[in-house]
Amino acid sequence: MSGNDKHNKVRLVRVDADHQGQRLDNFLAALLKGVPKAAVYRMIRTGQVRINGGRAKPANRLEQGDEVRVPPARTRERHHAVVSEEVRRQVRAAILHEDPDLLVVNKPAGMAVHAGSGLPWGLIDALRQDRPEEYFELAHRLDRETSGCLVLARTGAALKHLSAQFRQGSVRKFYLCLMDGRLPEDLVEVDAPLVRADTDSGAPVEAHESGKPSLTRFRLLQRFGDCSYVEAELLTGRTHQIRAHARHVGLPLAGDSKYADRESVKRWKRRGLNRLFLHAHRLGLTGPGGDDLEFDAPLPDSLREVLDRLER
């Protein structure tokens, strides 16, 4: 069987302990290497993928022993992407914590967490190529433009444990951000349901009563004339939540090309900011062994320099 037609038969795949707790879409992406991500989602959406005989959604979590029906799929005509040694070295240097159950990385801005949407590789691919004999799965995600604490599971049991905490909202998540404008009070809570503007996965998210409940707490750290340096606490975990809530209150994040207007982005570039000012600086959770764990990622130099210039 050639590399391009190895997925041309229906398969029934039994989920083992290492994949317990994994999202269905991530499970299929690893199983169907070379198949376009859009094709994987289409197979799920049209009911071709089944879990124990029933229809499924991309975010469904798998349990050990589940039987997944995997339909025929056509691969891309491309070679497996190789992550350079320079990038793998960058990821190694960004590791904040490592134990037998989990790994925490200070993800660089501009690096995707996984391949997809035209990107041949992500941070998890760099880790897997650097340590091919080890198990790594994402416990959650960060936007490509966002830097900071990213947690990966190192066993199937740890993935199930960590994913449940992120899903239930029990993980303590704090971000540092610069808002374009003056926060009116020292503490502002934004309770506004969020929904994607249209069905395109790349479309922005907006506040709307039909959306999912979303709550963000913004705490002022320092004012700089026409902008506010803020810690944002995520009390729910929606896509682009901080960015969408910041725009909702009329204070989009500095450097945000998706949620701020073009003139704002240009103005911040003139002030030396060439990325989104959003950094996942602190994260707390319960480890698989029951320990209360907290991780901190220092503000990157590129963002610290912007604040230093604002203080002058």
Over residues 227-262, the pLDDT tens digits come to 999 999 999 989 999 999 999 999 999 999 999 999
d(CA 204, CA 202): 7
Let me know: does 196 contact 205? Beta carbons within 8 Å. yes
The CATH number of the domain holding residue 26 is 3.10.290.10
pLDDT at 291: 94
Asked, for residue 76, whether it belongs to a domain, the answer is no
The reply to whether 134 and 180 lie within a common domain is no
269 and 307 co-located in one domain? yes
The per-residue pLDDT for 31 is 86
Tell me which residue range forms the domain holding 289: 169-311
* Banded model confidence at residue 200, pLDDT cuts 50, 70, 90: low
CATH number at residue 159: 3.30.2350.10
What's the CA gap between 252 and 248, in Å, rounded?
8
Cα–Cα distance between 261 and 242 in angstroms, integer? 16
Cβ atoms of 150 and 123 closer than 8 Å: yes
Residue 201's pLDDT is what? 60
**Residue 168, SS3 per DSSP:** helix
In a domain? residue 4: no
Q: 261 an active-site residue?
A: no
**Domain check: are 180 and 99 in the same one?**
no
10 Å Cβ neighbour count for 261?
13
* pLDDT mean over 136-151: 95
Separation between Cα atoms, residue 234 and residue 217, nearest integer Å: 7
| Interval 87-105 mean pLDDT | 96
Residue 278, SS3 per DSSP: strand
Alpha carbon of residue 94 to chain centroid: 16
pLDDT in tens, 98-108: 999 999 999 99
Residue 8: per-residue pLDDT: 66
152 plus 228 within the same structural domain: no
Instruction: Tell me, yes or no, whether 173 and 307 share the same domain.
Output: yes
Residues 132 and 15 in one domain: no
Structure tokens at 13: 């795949």
Considering the domain architecture, whether residues 163 and 176 belong to the same structural domain is answered as: no
Residue 80 has pLDDT above 70, yes or no: no
Residue 252: burial class (beta carbons within 10 Å; 0-12, 13-18, 19+)? buried
- The answer to whether 158 touches 288, Cβ cutoff 8 Å, is yes
pLDDT of 140 above 60:
yes
Q: Are residues 204 and 273 part of one domain? A: yes
Which tens digit of pLDDT belongs to each residue from 31-70? 887 787 788 888 898 999 999 999 999 989 999 999 999 9
Asked whether residue 118 is assigned to any structural domain, the reply reads yes
pTM of the model: 0.79
**Domain end call among 108, 136, 167:** 167
Q: Do 290 and 223 share a structural domain? A: yes
Does the pLDDT at position 16 exceed 70?
yes
Considering only the C-alpha atoms of the chain, give the largest distance between any 2 of them, rounded to a whole number of Å.
66
Contacts of 18 (CB under 8 A, 6+ apart): 135, 155, 156
> Between 200 and 192, where is the model more confident?
192
Separation CA 77–CA 35 (nearest Å): 9
Q: What does the radius of gyration of the chain's CA atoms come to, in whole angstroms?
A: 20
| Structural domain count of the chain | 3
Which of these is catalytic: 25, 101, 125, 143?
143
- pLDDT at residue 236, rounded to an integer: 92
Classify residue 175: in a domain, yes or no: yes
- As beta bridge partners, residue 48 has none
Q: Are 135 and 211 in a shared domain? A: no
Give the model's pLDDT for residue 309.
93
Q: Are residues 18 and 128 in the same domain?
A: no
Same structural domain for residues 119 and 57?
A: no
